[in-house]
């Protein structure tokens, strides 16, 4: 298997750009939640890198929790149905929650999770998503801490996968066309 860089067609967001955004968001979150008991909820698996980077850049103590949700199968198409692969192992009742996501595509994952956490009695639910494919939204989601708006290209890296690979790339990139075995199915 060749070096990960040799699979990449072009980079969309560089490592320094990711770090700059996360520094800026972390400073804002630290200010907004100063004196509050904040619970960060990352959506596994894609948000794992964003969660690590954001949490380490915060200057306030927070609780880290994880929920594993899936809207994509092996391909590049969102299925539209949310599957809970692993639920939270704590109650969110009365808690201030910041959901940490890697990307908003159709918006269905976040729409579902915001509604779910509110129905479980959270005191507040806000969202940080590193990337946003604004042109692909099918449902509306309020994002308090917006990330980079990217075009409708299938991206990998910094947690994002294609068929479970490339999550360990340290930037956001588009793979070479021959890497996408289901190419042509994307609208």
Q: Which residues are identified as catalytic?
A: 105
Determine if 72 is a binding residue for Mg ion (CB under 5 A): yes
- Give the E-state strand segments of the chain in sequence order: 8-13, 38-44, 63-72, 78-86, 96-104, 124-132, 148-149, 155-156, 172-175
Residue of 30, 52, 55, 78 interacting with ligand PRP (CB under 6 A): 78
Give the burial string for 129-152 (b: 16+ CB within 10 Å, else e): bbbbbeebeeeebebbbbbeebee
Evaluate whether 37 touches 158 at the Cβ level (below 8 Å).
Answer: no
Q: How far is the CB of 46 from Mg ion (least distance, A)?
A: 5
State which of positions 34-73 bind Mn ion (CB under 5 A). Answer: 43, 46
Q: Identify each DSSP E strand in 112-168 by its residue range.
A: 124-132, 148-149, 155-156
From 31, 26, 36, 34, select the one nearest 56 (Cα to Cα).
26
Q: Which is nearer to ligand PRP, 43 or 98 (CB)?
A: 43
Q: Which stretch binds Mg ion (CB under 5 A): 35-43, 71-79, 103-111, 174-182?
A: 71-79
CB of 70 to ligand PRP, least distance (A): 4
Nearer to Mn ion, 22 or 103 (CB): 103
By CB under 6 A, tell whether 106 contacts ligand PRP: yes
* Binding-site partner at residue 30 among Mg ion, ligand PRP, Mn ion, none, CB < 5 to 8 Å by type: none
Kindly list the residues in this chain that would bind ligand PRP in the complex (CB under 6 A).
Answer: 43-46, 70-72, 78, 101-109, 161
């Amino acid at each position: 298997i060749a070096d990960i860089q040799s699979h990449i067609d072009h980079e969309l967001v560089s490592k320094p750009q990711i770090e700059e955004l996360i520094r800026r968001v972390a400073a804002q979150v630290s200010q907004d939640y100063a004196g509050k008991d904040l619970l960060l909820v990352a959506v596994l698996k894609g948000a794992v890198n964003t969660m690590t980077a954001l949490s380490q850049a915060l200057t306030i103590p927070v609780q880290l929790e994880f929920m594993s949700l899936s809207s994509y199968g092996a391909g590049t198409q969102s299925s539209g149905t949310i599957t809970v692969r692993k639920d939270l192992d704590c109650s969110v009742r009365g808690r201030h929650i910041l959901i940490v996501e890697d990307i908003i595509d159709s918006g269905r994952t976040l729409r579902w999770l915001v509604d779910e956490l509110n129905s479980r009695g959270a005191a507040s639910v806000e969202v940080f998503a590193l990337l946003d494919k604004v042109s692909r939204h099918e449902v509306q989601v309020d994002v308090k801490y917006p990330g980079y708006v990217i075009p409708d290209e299938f991206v990998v890296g910094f947690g994002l996968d294609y068929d479970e690979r490339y999550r360990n790339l340290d930037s956001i990139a588009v793979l070479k066309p021959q890497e996408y075995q289901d190419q042509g199915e994307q609208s």
